[in-house]
Amino acid sequence: MKNAFIRKQQCLTSALGIFLLVIMACKSDGNIPAENLEEEVDETGAQPGDSTGNRLRIRIGSAVFSATLLDNATVKAFKARLPLTVNMSELNGNEKLYNFPSNLPANASNPGTIRNGDLMLYGSNVLVLFYKSFSTQYSYTRLGRVDDATGLASAAGAGNVTVTFELD
């Protein structure tokens, strides 16, 4: 009886070991479909190795902020509209928005957390500049991010503001 128990235990241990080896081999063989891989994104929202140099200047009153733009179809369409001076409306005490008169290409996903300085597109025509961090359930197309958002909330203020976006 004791020997049968030990054999079962050895068999289960061997099966578990084989299972773990198979799992590890699957993860390291590079055969994971691309659609299952999450894109790595750094603090600016740029992918590693992205050296496109997409620099944006954002002017709110006398405050000027530098931002790094991503390299995607939405950003290309956005850049084609620059320089751009718009009146951005206040929303929810954490963001400023502007409705473009026509759509931009969109590829929205839920970021989970919005960070102070994120520049995104909501839907296909709403430009959003976030000046506070918070969790979200909404989906956005990421355009870029303010490099140093210190002072962005105070520059954005409580009401509507005029904002100029131009390539740096």
- Give the confidence band of 139 by pLDDT, cuts at 50, 70, 90: very high
Q: What is the pLDDT, as a whole number, of residue 33?
A: 32
Q: What is the pLDDT, as a whole number, of residue 38?
A: 33
Pair 145, 44: CB distance under 8 Å: yes
| Amino acid making up residue 119 | L
- Give the confidence band of 140 by pLDDT, cuts at 50, 70, 90: very high
Q: Can you tell me the mean pLDDT for 47-72?
A: 82
| Amino acid making up residue 75 | V
**Local structure of residue 147 (DSSP, 8 states):** S
17: its two tokens: 């070991």
Q: What is the pLDDT, as a whole number, of residue 104?
A: 97
Residues 8-48 pLDDT 10s: 555 444 544 443 333 333 333 333 333 333 333 444 344 43
Q: Between 132 and 23, whose confidence is greater?
A: 132
Lowest mean per-residue pLDDT among 10-19, 121-130, 157-166: 10-19
Q: Is residue 6's pLDDT more than 60?
A: no
Dihedral of the alpha carbons of 113, 110, 162, 168, in degrees to the nearest 10: 90
Residues 63-119 pLDDT 10s: 999 999 999 999 999 999 999 999 999 999 999 999 999 999 999 999 999 999 999
Q: What is the pLDDT, as a whole number, of residue 29?
A: 35
